[in-house]
Amino acid sequence: MDWMIWVGIGIICVIIEIFTPGFFFMSIGVGAIITGLLAGLVTNLPLQILIFAVVTFIIFITTRKWSKKLFASSAETTNVAALIGKTGVVTKEIPADGRGYVKIGGEEWSAISQNGKQIGKDKKIVVEKVDGNKLVVIIRDEEKEN
């Protein structure tokens, strides 16, 4: 009879895991299911609880490392943060200590010079950072040589 309770708890935890990230309930669920399968061999309840705790801990530690790698590798920069490091062209001159406009990937953005110097129209630039609603840019290295 104990095995049915352990397996029931395990199934409920696995179902809960479907709706929550992090593999926390999955480790509890798998630990409970394994304990339920062993409950036929081990009838002592304190020993079953110890088996459950050890198995759950081992599963939690191993799946936690795996899940962190899985979720970390899928992280991508999006929106305006994805523009950092991109190159573009000045469409409206960026005056010294003022705003101009640059075109990056078909979109036009408000921009300022990182060092506060003027950047002429049609110069190639690189986005260094984003400051509020404007891009902070520098002249590309090839342009500096000319």
Helix H or strand E segment including 22: none
Beta bridge partners of 32: none
- List pLDDT tens digits, range 63-117: 777 777 666 654 555 577 788 899 999 999 999 889 999 999 888 999 999 888 8
pTM of the model: 0.48
Short-list 58, 57, 90, 74, CA closest to 21: 74
For residues 1 and 48, give the distance between their C-alpha atoms in angstroms, rounded to a whole number. Answer: 13
- Domains assigned to the chain: 2-73 (no CATH), 79-141 (2.40.50.140)
